[in-house]
Homo-oligomer: A and B are copies of this chain.
Amino acid sequence: MPLIVQKYGGTSVGTPDRIRLVAQRLLETQREGCRVVGVMSAMAGITDDLLKLARDVAAQPSSRELDLLLATGEQASSALVAMAIGDLGGRAISLSGAAAGILTDRAHTRAKIANISPRRIQNLLGDDYIVVVAGFQGQNADGEITTLGRGGSDLSAIALAGALNADACQIFTDVDGVFTCDPRLIRDARKIDEISYDELLEMAGGGAKVMQSRAVEFAKKFSVPFEVRSSFSGASGTVAREETPHMEEVVVRGVSVDRKQAKVTICGVPDKAGIAGQIFGPIAAANLIVDMIVQNVSSGDTTDVSFTIHENDIEHARHILESIRREIGASHINARNQVAKLSVVGIGMRSHAGVAARFFECLGHGGINIELISTSEIKIAVVVAEEDIDEAARLTHESFNLSRLAPQAAVI
């Protein structure tokens, strides 16, 4: 009998009515002849409410206690879904992450899954139970409850699918799948039927908020294919899997936009060995996450170093960099947050020349100035002024023929 893992996000279990719909879908899947494991997020808004409470009672909440607090959100939604299944005439049982056998390391609030002991779930499935597991959580070797970080329920689902050797893993969410671009931005953005793990990672890193990156990395590492699909429609979604030769026929899979970027440039940096370490060491020590880093060719004996960070971190970064600037003898610092990042992603571009040229040309024709460029094997990202980003995304999406109206692959 096939085994299927279905994960439901916070909006999918956000109200009693929706919880009953989730219960119904799990039950239908079982009645179609599957063994079924459900993985639940907390009801929409609950995690934020709990975090707010924590911050209201403590400036620096203990991470152990934070995990105990936050884990209650998924425990509650799982119990509610199990109740609803029972009420619909099914047999269900809810398990906390710990009870489901999810063992993690000791890093509270951002634990990594160390191991899964699927025995209990397997026994319950053998007894025809629908097993409803609280996502986002596990326990460490001391039996302490841990959580897996924001969006960790995706990771729970994929890890369980891997450990149970599931035949399918479906991530139900409030969107229909992964799109060639954010459909709120590009009206004729097209749902992608199939995407490689790497492409999905680059899309997510580029701002597409479909899945937690760690979950995708885990899926890639353990070759767990999964489908991202809507819990509100019956339509099929986007399947993420290891890449196939077939996938490379499409050069550009999608375009993603990240508006939350800020750009920082340190100008007049002495062009000598070890400088980059002197700059980025203290930035990393302050836990600021740097996205793109670009160093221009030096002009004379100085160079400019630019990088992007989250816009919320701009003041913090400016503060740290001011002392670095004095130390290394750079001339000045420019920092501004009215910028956005546009990325084009596709494993096909590895074997196709000319993607970058077409990308830059289309922006140039649109009169859009490129402030930074950074490339990887399967992604090209540029930073432009925030006011230009919508037009830039539209032009790029059109240029690579990604729209609903022209589903064929771009030919370069």
Contacts and interface: CB of A to CB of B under 8 A. Distances in A.
Interface of A: 16, 19-20, 23, 50, 53-54, 56-62, 64-66, 68-69, 71-73, 75-76, 78-84, 86-87, 93-94, 96, 99, 143
A16 B56 contact: yes
Contacts of A66: 79, 83
B94 A65 contact: yes
A86 B69 contact: no
A73 B75 CA distance: 11
Contacts of A72: 72-73, 75-76
Given A50-B76, A57-B81, A62-B83, 7 more contacts: A19-B57, A57-B83, A61-B87, A64-B93, A66-B79, A69-B80, A69-B83
Chain A interface mostly helix, strand, loop or mixed? Answer: helix
B69 A76 contact: yes
A82 B64 CA distance: 10
**Most chain B CB neighbours (cut-off 10 Å) among A61, A82, A83:** A83
A62 B86 contact: yes
The number of times this chain is found in the oligomer is: 2
29 contacts: A16-B57, A19-B57, A20-B57, A50-B76, A53-B76, A54-B80, A57-B80, A57-B81, A60-B86, A60-B87, A61-B87, A62-B82, A62-B86, A65-B79, A65-B82, A65-B86, A65-B93, A65-B94, A66-B79, A66-B83, A68-B78, A68-B96, A69-B76, A69-B79, A69-B80, A69-B83, A72-B75, A72-B76, A99-B143
Nearest to A43: B53
**Most chain B CB neighbours (cut-off 10 Å) among A50, A64, A96:** A64
Contact of A58 (B71, B87, B99, B143): B87
A80 to B, nearest CB: 5
Contacts of A81: 57
A60 B85 CA distance: 11
A94 B84 CA distance: 30
Contacts of A19: 57
Contact of A61 (B20, B83, B96): B83
A364 B175 CA distance: 74
